[in-house]
Structure 1
């Protein structure tokens, strides 16, 4: 399974902490507010497109309907559009003045503080400014000045909307003169269609020349051609690719021809050398002109093919992108192994480094025999398992396009094998993923997600998972192709393997932990993924539980909206239960998900912090600090670090349960990252809490923290200095106890300045 880093759990700093200088904090806060403001403006501008046409554009009886003001812009208490929206801890939005008045009235009446919307008690009266919603309302009203104008004149927004409706209907008659322009555009469109057909005819002629050359070289059967309407001949094929894919296929064919020609020339040279040793050179001299002429033909064809390719353009969003993040070798091995569908009694061909034999296998993918095509796919999969170099050779041999064509076959077994092979080929990072994007693999794989058979569906979901891993262009293309809805449906599939692959694919579509992917995360959440993912946490299969927890982790990473949605969806208690799961990978993913539920963009989610602590997570996370499996202890320390941030109750609870184990991790020389997470947790435990500071000193944390200041890693020294500064900044006696020579004190002063 593809795994992404969990930097958002353990590597983020805590807002308002004493180790952070004012300048970085202000920078991050300003950047966050800028992103929220930009999102809100786009939201408001989109909502301001306030009418829809419910008929054909040229229909005289078309109905133009005004879109109402979005309900989310209204305060539930005042029923008016908000100007200063804020959110309570249960996620409901109100006008600040009205919700504060509500709180005051409840206190004066000596009543419990409840939500005006749900009637349920609120654990806190903390209000969170909704900058994005505020900017959305401002942008909405800015793009609908008639509403603001009529409202200021004494009319309600509903009355203003009725006035605008009347004005809109009056101006509808002015659009009748657009008919001539539309007819002119239609004629121009017909001319473009004729040019497109001519280009297709030219392309078919080039493909005909390539097919004939392949037949003459003996690496393909004698071509059969179908006559086009204009009299041109086109190779008979079930190919449904675009003009871009056809041009790419032609280039791949040319590369294979050149490789075959090189192999034939090498054989000719060897034969000529043997002939010279036998005293006969005439046969070798007769081969030379033939190969020179054939090379000239191929060179001429290459020029034609590249011209055709230059005229074709890739679909928007499918251009190859260079990314810094690549899959680790370990993750690649896991993915390729999972994609293996080779039967135990199947004996694939071994190609070794024989590229010509590999090309012949790729050619066999287009065989008329179903059995031969299936055997060719299986042989390619066996070769792909031999390592990254062989997978690269398969890509260079042009296997992607014929494999994409096989996804459209009627045989479920062949569809399964082709999808599995494509998933294995794209497991090596962005270049392989870009090759699949250009070949049109995404639409074909998305169609397979709705297959009635679970086998090709599982293989397609696994291929989509690998294709989306750490590749923004692939994630966008998959989402635009409509993969999110069928993937969510597959979460309820009867096959647990299908469930696991679908959940992993949704997790990879949500992005990675290295940057913000707010729009994609919200898209998946609003499509209804949260509830079925929460149900997967109670599955009887460990791989399903792990995939569900991992997907939820990615949905809530740096996303406050999804954090609230996942918490309301009932995910906290199942995740806490998974902290005791028998599978180490499940325990690790559950701890990471809980850590990400309480942290977003240098801010904490106090409501989720309290809910997770009340669910009993702290003792279980403390127990995981002693877990030696994988990165469980490191991830648990990161989760405790986030739970302790700016939360006095959690700080004291964590000190009671986990402080000795955290101090022990500080002394662990085998994992520097675990030491960093433990030091970060102690920093958050000490920040602004004199009681926990004393407990930390008594637990013996000073000595290992001072030792970490001498470490080689800058990040380790920074976190250790921050923890010591949080302990000593308001305690002169402790400052003296840490360092009586002044050297470490100077270091602490530098970090605290």
Structure 2
């Protein structure tokens, strides 16, 4: 019986012998003791299996013996053999009759209600018959035995299902028609289900059968259309299974299915990218377009982006440079997808993406890119410039390219404006290139138009890019920015409104605070503008909120707080000419806040700015400190001075010789700030 799981065949059944012709002795090869397939006769009239007697002759030669008959030991004068055609035909007829009888008996046994042993015996005989004479597959096909074997896949027995899978494998090997019969109905869906639900050996048999079916181009689409088939097969190829055969068969199945472009795309969606990349490299122009278009829509992790850039980056750049418009669009969208990670962007830089990218962005004329694709080009350039990779960006700021960028920013829509501003953000973040950008902006007077983007409300990304750019420019263009903002209260108010938003601290808030912090601190006109829009009240509220833990945002908190403190400190430079500055500092007890900020350990800039602000406050103390009002002398004292005693005034400040307090006169002695200031010098 077919009782083992390792595929070994045994036959202890007797009912399969009923109706079967007995083997005649003439059919048996004396050497192999098996029924012959290709009988041949020697010169002495003895008949053997051709392969067996040829092996015997070889052994005689190797041992130095003369060729002889293995039965009679008679030496032979010739090694020539004659095919026994009549005997061969007789054997074939006998075998056909017996195989037909066995198949008929098997058909009677292949019902789910029969005993498991009978079913296993029937399956075994089908396999033996198919293996012995390949033409008997025709008999299996014609008897509709395939469908009966398929029914065995519904058995509750793991062993029966496993042997049915093995039998189907033998039946359909190299037989297109049998494969098509097997694929009818839900059989392929059942095989896919077995990939995840069967025990190990059943899973191996199922994937092996799918592999055989996938050799048929007609069936590849059917396998691919089954929900979950591709993701299960891809999963098997990437698993750590100890069963190497399963991995190899799953991989070969997918390889066979790569003939379909749609299946290749699905594989890529599940992480098997290489077939798509190979078609992009070697396919027809139509195939390259299809693959590149799909690549531009595909979700890729960072490792995948690097692999794609290394494998097809050059081909995509070539398509972008010389393809027709649909190819250029597909290439640009794919390059956009892979340019957003530092590792892949480095690869793109090394293969020369910058030159054609910039040409597409600035070129105006025949075959130039439409605006929607210029936006994609700008996005790719922004990704590359902002990755933090220290490549030679000089080519981006030479030959009036910054002026071209500024011109495009002024003459395009918000989407591309945003990306072009991000390019400038990247360039101004580099010490080697920021001077070129600053020079171009000063020459063109573009600062006025750039500042206007601060007021944009309908496009948050555009406004953020603008504020980040202005923040980068502010150390080198503080005067120009102050002049631009001083004349437009709306833009200054917009920056203050962004800073005071009641949200977790954002990148935009930190950049806006940093921008205002860099403006000239002694610009009285700007300080008055800020007083007019209530900036300082909002700033101090934010500082207090951060220190009390009410406002959080770990990523940007440090920079945001530093910017706020620097903005707040500028009010201490306006005491001489702006009474509102003194009133504000009194009302909000600014001196006390700066003393507390002296203790911001690890934040040197905040401590330095706080000390400077306290210096300014302290210089104003002498003007604010006053002597107390003394009571007038009594009547006698007013006539006879010798009869009056001078009033003794106590509680006066030893430094300012008047009545002092931290809140009202900003006295650092009263605020006990001196020791804290000295402590900043260290031990």
User: Structure 2 length normalisation: TM-score?
Assistant: 0.47
RCO higher in structure (CA 8 A, sep ≥6): 1
User: Structure 1 length normalisation: TM-score?
Assistant: 0.43
Larger Rg: 2
